[in-house]
Structure 1
């Protein structure tokens, strides 16, 4: 189990170049683009969402990953939650591997109960521009995500644009994450804390 700690910031599209310049300046090198496609699963009655759990498959340039994220908190754009992730062979969930990785009994029980009725509910597709930063003694992954979240609801396709920044603490003290966020916000006006994650936005699109 790991605890994901990150800031999410809503990025106005016309500020994307300024954010890119900021991260390139801090890292001393341009970011690399990583295309990501994600499929989110739940039951028709959204049992996992009711248990505050998100389950997804992610296609990366290196292969497929499955991720289970449990209930967390989000305040002022700062997100903290437990997550379990394992590699899978293809675009299909592997419950035994996920169950072996998950050490939270409540999350595991909710997943097992929902398993027979799970199906695709929505997708997110975006390009992530990545930098790995050494900042004030910490390692922080900075990302600019731009793309779409799409869901089919009541026979209609609904979509919403994704344009946001994620700053994830990989190693070091959390104070460095706060300091980097403050420096970024000063350099790129118009950023705003984003307390709604991509999964929550997908569920919102699924609502009647």
Structure 2
């Protein structure tokens, strides 16, 4: 449970850092190297890692204090937080409230920051003089936006079904929980690969070669 949720929070922080990098690169390109120094990048990386490690600790502490008297079989393919604590023979409202805080208070702030960054980026792109310049600049952010959507949307559905979907069948819970673990790493190579000119041209040549 710790590593699954810890890696999720760390990856969410990485997306925020990437949004900040794109904001500086597009809205203030002449100062990109002076703002994002090696020291600042190292500090951001350490902060993202520590945040992911610390925020998830209460999940483990709260879950370990609950008595589990019915069964130790988790009705899921992995140790998803709410799937585990629902096995407890005690009140789990504190765990549920903390999960709500993490999703809306921490991950929600990440999404807000990313949204603000890309709103400013979009405004800067629209002010570019030519259509070619706008398309080229937006192309540098398109893969990042697709990766963000593939990362956050399945996780949000999984959380909402566990918190509020009491009448949702178990197999639907399991399917949605697996989606936020499987979908992002499955789509990321495609998203970033298609946006790379060399990979795109190589795939195009392969398809042309295989055509009768």
Q: TM-score, normalized by length of structure 1? A: 0.22
Q: Which has the larger radius of gyration?
A: 2
Q: Tell me which protein shows more strand as a share of its residues.
A: 1
Query: Greater relative contact order (Cα 8 A, min sep 6): structure 1 or 2?
Result: 1
